[in-house]
Amino acid sequence: MRLFSRSTYALSYIFSEHLESERIVNEDDFLSFAKYLDKKYETTHIDGIICVGPEAYRFMGTYKDIYFEDIPVIHMGVDAEVLSEISNTTILGIYQEIPFESLFIEASALNPDLKKN
């Protein structure tokens, strides 16, 4: 997740937070992290948030209206299946589909010596 802020001097600041979703395994941990971010940035004006990946999107879909309601949020790197899980229409972005089958076909065509293991 990236948090953008602008000071009164028209300088832009970029804050970066990592969700560590592989370590946060239950809802209480996600809630604690949301509260932590709320407290950490309570005196900072945030102009926007970019959430990258499905877990960050799920996190923002769950907590945006509680802790980040007045901050615009955009997403990237999220596929259509994950987008359909969360009905928060205030998070905007484009979904990503990676055509793995066609990537492998193209890779094989470009390098016919590739072998399956």
In the chain the domains, ranked by start, together with CATH numbers, are 2-110 (3.30.750)
Q: DSSP 3-state assignment of 6?
A: strand
Query: In terms of DSSP bridges, do strands 2-6 and 48-52 run parallel, antiparallel, or are they unpaired?
Result: antiparallel
Question: Tokens in use for 116?
Answer: 């399956």
**Residues 59 and 30: beta-carbon distance below 8 Å:** yes
pLDDT score for 117: 57
Predicted pLDDT of residue 8 = 52
Q: What is the reported pTM?
A: 0.70
pLDDT at 36: 94
Predicted pLDDT of residue 90: 83
> What's the chain's Rg over C-alpha atoms?
18
Q: What pLDDT is attached to residue 106?
A: 84
Determine the pLDDT at residue 38. Answer: 93
From first to last of its 117 residues, the chain has per-residue pLDDT tens of 555 555 555 567 888 898 888 788 788 999 999 999 999 999 988 889 999 988 999 999 999 999 998 899 999 888 888 888 887 778 888 777 777 788 778 888 888 877 665
User: Exposed, middle or buried, 53 (CB in 10 Å: 0-12/13-18/19+)?
Assistant: middle
